[in-house]
Amino acid sequence: MESSHVEDDLVNILFTEAQIQERLAEMAVRIAEDYEGRDLLVVGVLRGAVMVMADLARALPRHVEMDWMAISSYGSGTKSSGVVRILKDLDTDISGRHVLVVDEIIDTGLTLSWLVNSLGTRNPASVEIATLLRKPEALSMPVEPKYVGWDIPNEFVVGYGLDFNEKYRNLRDIGTLAPHVYS
């Protein structure tokens, strides 16, 4: 979906599809260099990371194995419940593997902090994080991603996998959602 289809719902466009693709390609080069000669398992966090995971994996100039997890720290609404649940676990044994968790955004850090700790108990060779966006002002849990596309202000953003009530995920750009939409 093009931004012009929902322009009244957006305050501004933070990153265009072209900018996102360029940044993911840059991240892919660095990831490929860092994992040269190592067996890499890329783990996407459903549902938001689908776009990032697909485009990042296609930009990698090497073979990677992919798997998916679905985890949730949200109850009803937009506030975190503080309780993290696995909704879909990995199908792959990660023992001795280099794992790169891919997510679209780090907001409070609660979910990813819990996930990295949980994966660490499964005896991987390493666990690192790649995220397209990070909101440093919103962090409440320590999370240190190895790869970050951009740091952004603590605003409600949608597009490229990011949603509001399951809408806007298929927006090609990333934009700030207008308050009248979620108020």
Q: How far are the Cα atoms of 27, 75, 178 from residue 31, in angstroms, in the given order?
A: 6, 34, 34
Spot the catalytic one: 55, 103, 107, 173: 107
**Cβ burial, residue 180 (10 Å; 0-12/13-18/19+):** exposed
Residue 107 designated active-site? yes
Distance separating alpha carbons of residues 155 and 152, to the nearest angstrom:
8
Distance separating alpha carbons of residues 91 and 128, to the nearest angstrom:
19
Task: Indicate the DSSP class of residue 160.
Answer: T
Structure tokens at 23: 């940044």
Distance separating alpha carbons of residues 172 and 175, to the nearest angstrom:
10
- Residue in 149, 176, 157 with CA at minimum distance from that of residue 30: 149
- Would you tell me how many other CB atoms lie within 10 Å of the CB of residue 158? 23
- Catalytic positions, written as ranges: 107
